[in-house]
Every structure is written in structure tokens, then in C-alpha cells.
Amino acid sequence: MQRALVLGGGGVTGVAWELGLLAGLAERGVPVTEADLVVGTSAGSVVGAQVRSGVPLEQLYEEQLAPPTGEVAARLGFLAVARLVWAGGRTRDAERSRARIGAMAVAARTPSEASRRAVIEARLPTREWPQRRLLVTAVDAATGEFVVFDGADGVSLVDAVGASCAVPGVWPPVTIGSRRFVDGGMRSTVNADLAAGARRVLILAPTSAAIGPMPRLSAQVDELRTAGAQVVVVTPDGSARTAIGRNVLDPARRAGAARAGRAQAAVVADEVTALWA
């Protein structure tokens, strides 16, 4: 495998920033969405499904600029973060930590699964898994097991992406068969280690935060490089962080985040081109 694109989590503004950055890179002749492998976590799973759908990247970008009419703004505020830290940070055992977060998510008062599924379905251009390889991450809410969906297991793309985006305490866990799943970002906001084996890895990370025993992005990058991969990590610059604001789940911030991502592409294009060529 030659090239992998890793798309990390970061809410609705993370989706917008990543699509802006990808559109800006494509505009400069760097088609990173043609990677042999795309890994998507949380917001990154939405972007991964979108860019693998065949819909033109420019169209996906333009959709991020539309006014958020009728969209419900959620909030991952201080209390929600505190609950995550409290639930997941009381043990050094990563799987147990994720199971505690999952239990918190199951007990939380959230919108219905059906209403949330409708939102996810509306964000995806297609309900079919792409022919080119896409990995979507999630976590079993009961056991804390890290799960990777790829379409080969019969799980629908909508359910896989919904599970990957099920932020604990904000959105409901997603039921698939007899199991319930929460956000893949509860294992890692990027899960860059899934790109192991690729010679060139581009990581877009709207956030690289980690709580408790979560693996750090820096450690995952070191592992990839030790294995011989060339790796470039892009995180939001100052202008993008300002555009994104403090609430990554606020649709009103989406257009600004998309534009900031596109502007940042001009700054990182040379580095990404050197990696991707």
C-alpha cells in the first residue's frame, strides 16, 4: 500500500475544515482523496464516506458554506468534557476506560437514535460502501472493544458512520445487531495506527486531544515513522482555530471553518505535495 489519508474527529466544524483543506489541496493539484486507504474517525468518517462517494470535492465544499437553517446546535461544553474525563480517566486500562465512557453514554439523555440516524443519512451522498478502501472506527459501548467497519461485515455505511460519530453524552449510542456503539474517537481522535503498512501517510487532525489511557497522536506517528512511513500531520492553524471557535458542534461555525481550511491549504500545499508525489 502506497498512500493513506487519515481523517480525524472534530465535530461539524472538523468536517468543514477537512473538506476545505482537501478542496484547497485538490485545487493546487494534490488529489489526496485518491489515497489507497482512507481512515475515518467521527467527523473524519463523514468526510471519508463523502470523498469516497464520487461526488466532486468542490461540491462537497460548497455544501459546507450553506446556512445551517433548521439544524440543531449541540454543545460539547465543559460539563460534557468533565463527564468524559471522569468516566474514562479513572483507570489505566484502555478498554475498561472506554467501557466506562460507554456506560455513561448509554445512561445519558440524548435525542432518539432514529432522529440522529436521519441526520447522518442526510449527510452522506450514498448509502453504499465505496469500492476503494474506507475504514470507519467505533467503540463497543458495553465492552470498550475498538471496532473497525469496512463494509465486509454487512454493517450499513449509515450505521457505521453514525456509530463513529456517536459522541458520548451528546448523541445516542448506535444499535447494530445486539450491540451498541459510541464514537471511534473514544479510542483515539485519529486512530492513525490503522494506516500501518502505507509508505506515505497524510493525517488531518482537527483535534489531537486525548484523555486517560488514550494513545497520543504523537505516539502513533512515531510508530508509523519507525515502520518506515513518511508522515505529514496537519492541524488547524491560528486562523482556523479562531473560525472553529470553542464549540465544534455548532453548525453556525461550519462555513467559517471550511473557508479557513481552504485558506490553510495554500500554506501546507508544498509539504503535502512533497509527501504525496
Which residues are catalytically annotated? 42, 183
Per the rule left: phi > 0, alpha: psi between -120 and 50, beta: everything else, 212 is: left
Cα–Cα distance, 101 to 225 (Å, whole number)? 31
Q: For cell 451522498, name the residue.
A: 125
Other Cβ atoms closer than 10 A to 73: 12
Distances, alpha carbon 227 to alpha carbons 35, 39, 194, 230, 276, in Å? 19, 18, 13, 9, 18
What letter does residue 200 receive in the DSSP assignment?
E
Cell of 221: 506517528
Spell out the alpha helix ranges (H) of 52-183: 57-64, 78-88, 94-107, 113-123, 157-164
Cell of 106: 448509554
Q: DSSP letter at 111?
A: -
Distance CA 143, CA 2 (A): 34
- How many helices (H) and strands (E) the chain has is answered by 10, 8
Cell readout for 34 is: 485518491
Comparing CA positions, the residue from 24, 25, 46, 32 lying closest to residue 2 is: 32
